[in-house]
Amino acid sequence: MNLILQSKVVNFWAQPFNSQWLWTGVIGGLLFGILIFLGLMFMPAQFRRPVVAFSTFIGGAYWVLLYIFPAPIDMQKTELATGPVESVGKFLTDANPVVVSVSGTVTAFMLGLGIFSLLSIHLKRITRRQKDWAFSVVLLAALASMAFFGYADYISRQGPDGTKLDLQANWGFVNYGRDLLFDGLLQQMDAAMFSVIAFYILSAAYRAFRVRSVEATILLSTALLVMLSLMGAVAFVWNDAVRNMANGNDFLMNFQLTEIAGWIRRTFETSSLRGIAFGVGIGALAMGLRIWLSLERTGGGA
Amino acid sequence: MLIADAVGQQYRETGWFGVLFTAILVTFLLVNIQRAKMGKNLYIRRIAGLNAIDEAIGRATEMGRPVLMVPGLSDNVNAIAVQAINIFAYVSRLAARFANPILLCCYNAAVFTLAQEVIRDVYQEEGLLDRYDPDSVRFISDRQFAFAAGVSGLILREQTAATFFLGEFYAEALIFAETANSIGAIQVASSTEATQTPFFIAACDYVLIGDEFYAASAYLTRQPVLVGSLVGQDWSKLLVIALILVGTIFNTITVQGKTTQSWDDKEGAYKTIPERQNDPKQSFIQQLATPFLPKMEVDRPKDPDAEATTK
């Protein structure tokens, strides 16, 4: 209860429910969005680029500021900022859920475009009776039924009586329908696809480990050592044999299977993965910077 | 309170070093982009996987079968998805010139929208808009294994001659690669997820490892901005290597050293302790990157309105 009450604390980004400021913000935001949308539609193409670049810069600038601008230290919702630096820091931190919601809203609109693409392709296939058109019928039927039963189930679980549906005895048609489609079919098919990977790993490993070159031989022997080290019985017998032969010699103890495998993983695997991670991280930074400053021209000419 | 104004919450764990280091990397990138724009001839090493793109499209054209592209499983339009689409724009441009059909399968609706716009623009720029099929860029599903099943089905039904898997891939990577391998398609792949790269190496013909993925558009298009950025990335990597070397030296010195005194909070003085090795966490480089400052209480006035609502 306390948390709910705390959420009523006034800040620029979270105005109280039904307040004048909230409605002004909602209507203002809607009008601003429509204006931008119409503006971009009717704007000559050469002017669109600066508008998009400016919007991208503002959008990116928020995240850059959030990263570098000092955030208030251990600040509670009931406390006031002590100076201009803290005020700006609080403003930026408070804006975070709003900015994330805006991204979510835009993505939700784009999902509609994705569904339009699916409908367009598969309806065309059905009407033209193209090859395998029956599969398209199944896909569209699955899409419609999953959306219907999923939403109906969600609605039935809202309100004070919703918790009753935690018991299967209280389920209705839509709840059984959702259970059959989601848990009974979709989850099982997901699991089936995932399990197929085991067989693909086998066939890929067979090709990768064929002794064709020096590199492939090194790969094969290294992988074999690491795999054997994970087999309890093999590792136990190998380590025991080495311990007996080493007779307390520290250097020879390094030849225990688990020691060799550990050395391979610590020395080669970890360092290689970190090297790749550094490269990928720096690449992502460069890409992000180019997009933020609109230096990148997507789909650049060849 | 002045300290609270000057030091933010985020700096209490990482110090100023993270921001300073990022600023240096950004400077490297911008300086090199400027150098490239000014006409400086910058060298990029040969990347076999990228040379294979032309070969793959040529093969698809000869066979008269489509080229399939997947820009990974990014949850939204991020740097990785944009980079993948940039590479696919190049692939589509070549495919358009040779009147080769393409298929671009998307996992995310936002990526789908971007890809559709970019690919259509590519055909328009080439003056071949009549060859553009709006259904060639498809949204398949935003569920991982449903997407995997959908793309695998397309590969098998369309008998694609060349496949490009570039972007964020997870467990489904091997399903794609092995399915394409089973029909003899030439494959160029790259995953920014290090855990999936070995699967691609095992199953694909050419693999872009790590940051080669980000080098691709610079390598293919030779745009000065991209080439400069790539050289900036190389400078940044050199700085990281230097930092690793310095860190190794400082950590080694610290670990090899011994401690004989320890600070006693109660007495407010150092007291003699039995000799022990230094804690690696006390090394200069560790303190520089993660100082972990102690918890700080800040005395702030209370908001009377907020106080009223919480009572």
Predicted pLDDT at A83: 82
- Please tell me which of the candidates A186, A273, A283 has its beta carbon nearest to residue B211: A283
- Pick the residue from chain B with its C-alpha nearest to A289: B26
Structural domains of chain B ordered from first start: 48-207 (3.40.50)
Mutation site, B22, B139, B231, interface A, largest A CB count within 10 A: B139
Q: Chain A contacts of B110, Cβ < 8 Å?
A: 106-107, 110
Confidence band, pLDDT 50/70/90 cuts, at residue A241: very high
Q: What pLDDT was estimated at residue A211?
A: 67
Q: CB under 8 Å to A48, separation ≥6 — which residues? A: A40
* Closest alpha carbon within chain A to B190: A280
ipTM: 0.84
Judged by CB atoms closer than 8 Å, whether chains meet at A73 and B298 is answered as yes
Test mutation, B112, B124, B172, chain A, max A CBs within 10 A: B112
- CB pair distance less than 8 Å for B217 and A300: yes
Name the minimum distance, in Å, from the CA of B94 to any CA of chain A: 9
Parallel, antiparallel, or unpaired for β B269-277 and B186-191? unpaired
User: For residues B284 and B310, what is the distance between their CA atoms, to the nearest angstrom?
Assistant: 45
Backbone CA torsion sign across B117, B121, B123, B124: positive
Determine the pLDDT at residue B300. Answer: 83
Helices H / strands E in chain B, number of each: 13, 8
Determine the Cα–Cα distance for residues B44 and B230; give it in Å rounded to an integer: 8
CB A157 within 8 A of CB A171: no
Give the pLDDT of chain B (311 residues) as one tens digit per residue: 444 445 788 887 778 888 899 999 999 999 999 999 898 787 777 787 888 888 899 999 999 999 999 999 998 888 899 999 999 999 999 999 999 999 999 999 889 989 998 999 999 999 999 999 988 999 999 899 999 999 999 999 999 999 999 999 999 999 999 999 999 999 999 998 888 888 898 889 999 998 889 888 888 888 889 999 999 999 999 999 999 999 889 888 888 888 888 878 788 888 888 888 787 777 888 888 887 677 777 788 887 766 665 55
Contact B12 A73 (CB under 8 A): yes
